[in-house]
Amino acid sequence: MFKNFLKRAKARFQPDKGLIADTYVVEGESSLTHDFRDNICRLQIIFKDCSDIVFREFEIQMDKQVSAVLIYLDGMVDRVTLHNHVMRSLMGISKKDYPQELSPLHRLNRLKNIDIMVGEIKEEQDMYTLVNNILSGEIIFMLDDCDHALILNGRGWQARAINEPDTETVVRGPKEGFVETLRSNTTLIRRKIKDPNLKLKVVQGGKKTNTDIAIMYVQGICPEDLIEEVEKRLKTINLDGVFESGYIEEFIEDNPYSPFPQVQITERPDKVAGNLLEGKIAIIVDGTPVVSIVPATLAQFYQSPEDYYERTIFGTAVRIIRLLSFITSVTATSLYVALVSFHQHLIPGEIVLSVAETRVGVPFPTLLEAVFMEIVLELVREASIRLPGSIGQTIGIVGALVIGQSAVEAKLASPILVIIVAISAISSYVIPHFSTSYSLRFMRFMMIGAAGTFGAYGIAIVWIGLLIHLCTLESFGQPYLAGVAPFRWTDLKDTIFRVPLWMMGTRPTVPDMKDIDRMLGAKGDREDDNGEG
């Protein structure tokens, strides 16, 4: 699978050949010149027909009257900073502060060092960088006769407030969720892990969008080569726009054709922080509250942060229920098909008669009946999920009650099947990770088909195929089924079971992890056998 990835990467990855230059530069060199007017002109050409770019020209009273310009993107800068700290300080300069004559560069330096009251200031000469900075909300300050510009950090725009994510609500636990701003998101994580080893690297993605993509990891816990690999893969992304973490997911995952998600996504900072401490890497894309976590294992998709907040017995019980619901969701309907049309002798005597009675008059064979009901269910689900709240609920109720009821009354489906389909549908939503339910439903249809052809044998071979497939999957070099295959006793404590936190002395096994102990002096209960090197 990794080979596949390399192949794709090779095909798509081309080094950046100055794409910005091709687009922006009319002619001449790309750095600023001493010609103030020319600099402004060039920028104005670049930002032609961009009415939200503001060129604010003014004069500063220094040793002499100097022309200056502030360039910013209206709406993306913080007005308070701009007015109070930049404009006011610049315009308040009087000639007596500058008794002797200065060179242009000295003027700029003095302004930077003494006058401008902004937290973060960078000096920059390169045109393209300036353009990028304007677009990401910085304020550019240029001075007459100076080939350097200042980048003033004045970012500030309307952002959504931090509130609880709808998709991952918990009863107990922090109620904050990620927002669309990268910086707020990284802050949310930083606030949970106050450790200098929590590292943050930013790369850019998207030829047109220039989206910031941040990689967060805890140094010492996360294996070095994993970080390198993630960075390498992120650099292969060759898209013009990155709007959501889903865009990069497809580029960095190992097996694009597998129905199983190989990147864990979440909107919860506590989940990300927990994963970082287990040696994972979080990939945060600017503009989306959804954070990706790699490498992913199947077990993770069955875990919710709440498991750790609630009592250990219930944590374990819930895990087991989820495991069962995984099996039920995939197998329940197909089991019904297999039993009713192949292995009637295995249906308990008390039940077989009532099943047979409900089947009388249904025109389709069981296989078609089951597929029909599953498709109806998919329709209802798809319809209700896109509609706004109240209508969506109505559709759900109409679909569930009316269609189910009338299908039974019209003898299109047997009521027992309706129950089973409903149970398998509910089971697929028990899993905390929403995308997993897609793969479950996909598997369910395959399973039903096989059960309709081969009965129980069909179910068994599809399961075997499924298990083989899961065994072949790897996420960033980590086996997808880590903990179960390769089997590690120590990992059982936080996969099928959720042992008390004080028993989780070691982190889940990640090859090459250095700092394996969660607690002081917990060493020793970890196996040397890491499965396969």
Partner 1 sequence: MRVLKLVIILSLFLIVLSGCWDSVELEEQFLVWGMGWDIDEENPNLMTLTLSAPSTTEGAPEPYIAVSSSGYSVEEGRKNIQKQLQYTIEMGHLRVLVISEDFAKQGILKFMDSLGRNPRIGRETKLVVTAGKAKDLWDLEHPSNLLPADYLVELLKVNAKQGITADITFRDFFEAISNEGQEPVTSFIRMSKDAKMFNAAGLAVFKEDKMIGKLMDIEVQAFQFIIGKCKNGTITVGESTKPGSNSITFCHRRGGSKVKTEIINGEPHIYLKVELEGDISEYTADKPTVDEEVIEKAETAVTLRVKKEVEKVIEKAQKEFESDIFGFGLYFKAYHNNYWKSHDWAKEFPEANVHVDVRVKIRRIGIES
Partner 2 sequence: MTMVRGKQIISTKQLFAILFLGLMNHGYVSISRWITEVAHQDAWISTFLGGFIAFVLLNIILLLMKRFPDKTFIQISDEVLGKYLGKIPGIIFLIFLLFFTALSLYLLVSLVSAWLLPKTPIDVIIISILLLQIYLTREGIKVLGRFQEMIMVIVLLGMPITFLPYFIYQNHTLLMPIGGTGVVTILKGALPAFYTFFTFFSLLILYPYVRKDASHKEIVKASNMSILVVTILKTFYVFGSIAVFGEKEIQFFLYPLLEYVKLLVFPVIERVEFMMIFLWLFMMFSGTVTTFYMANLTAEQVINVEGYKNTGLIIAIPIYFLTRLSQNIAESLSLFRLEGAVLSIVLLATIAFVFGLSFILQKGGENA
226 binds partner 2 (CB under 8 A): yes
Number of residues that bind partner 1 (CB under 8 A): 26
Nearer to partner 2, 229 or 306 (CB): 229
Q: In sequence order, what are the beta bridge partners of 65?
A: 61
Closest to 111 (Cα-Cα) out of 143, 67, 133, 139: 143
As given in the structure block, the two tokens for residue 263 are 């990147």
Q: Is 23 in the site for partner 1 (CB under 8 A)?
A: no
Cα–Cα dist 389/315, whole Å: 30
Binding status of residue 360 toward partner 1 by CB under 8 A = yes
User: What does residue 27 show for φ and ψ, rounded to 5 degrees?
Assistant: -160, 175
Inter-axis angle of helices 224-235 and 245-252, to 10 degrees?
Answer: 110
Among candidate residues 218, 216, 243, 244, the one with its CA nearest the CA of residue 230: 216
Give which of partner 1, partner 2, none residue 478 binds (C-beta under 5 to 8 Å, depending on kind).
partner 2
Round to whole Å and give the CA distance between 149 and 250: 39
Q: Give the pair of three-digit tokens for residue 511.
A: 């090859």
User: What is the edge-to-edge ordering of all strands in the sheet holding 65-73?
Assistant: 53-61, 65-73, 139-143, 149-152, 121-124
Residues between 278 and 337 with contacts to partner 1, criterion CB under 8 A: none
Whether 333 contacts 370, CB under 8 Å: yes
Q: Quick one: which of 165, 432, 452, 479 contacts partner 1 (CB under 8 A)?
A: 452
267 neighbors 479 (Cβ within 8 angstroms): no
Among positions 299, 340, 418, 447, the unique one binding partner 1 when judged by CB under 8 A? 340
Burial class of 106 by CB neighbour count within 10 A (0 to 12, 13 to 18, 19+): middle
Residue 465 interacts with which of partner 1, partner 2, none, CB < 5 to 8 Å by class? partner 2
Quick one: 8 or 235, whose CB is closer to partner 1? Answer: 8
Binder to partner 2 among 11, 200, 402, 461 (CB under 8 A)? 461
* d(C-alpha 272, C-alpha 477), whole Å: 20
Does residue 137 belong to the site contacting partner 2 (CB under 8 A)? no
Residue 3 contacts partner 1 per CB under 8 A: no
Among 195, 457, 504, 516, binds partner 2 (CB under 8 A): 457
SS3 150: strand
521 binds, among partner 2, partner 1, none (CB under 5 to 8 A by kind): none
Which residues ranging from 465 to 524 are in contact with partner 2 (CB under 8 A)? 465, 467-468, 471-472, 474, 476-479, 481, 484-487, 510-512
Q: What are the start-end ranges of the E strands in 84-189?
A: 121-124, 139-143, 149-152
Question: Which range of residues in 62-70, 349-357, 396-404, 437-445 is near partner 1 by CB under 8 A?
Answer: 349-357
Binding mask 381-400 for partner 1 (x = CB under 8 A): --------------------
Which residue matches tokens 């590690």? 488
Spell out, one character per residue from 3 to 22, where the chain touches partner 2: x when CB under 8 A holds, - when not.
Answer: x-------------------
141 in Cβ contact with 116 (< 8 Å): yes
Rounded least distance, CB 470 to partner 1, Å: 19
The residues of the shown chain that bind partner 2, judged by CB under 8 A, are 1-3, 223, 225-226, 228-229, 342-343, 345-346, 348-350, 454-457, 459-461, 463-465, 467-468, 471-472, 474, 476-479, 481, 484-487, 510-512, 529, 531-533
The residues of the shown chain that bind partner 1, judged by CB under 8 A, are 340-347, 349, 352-353, 355-357, 359-360, 362, 365-367, 449-450, 452-455
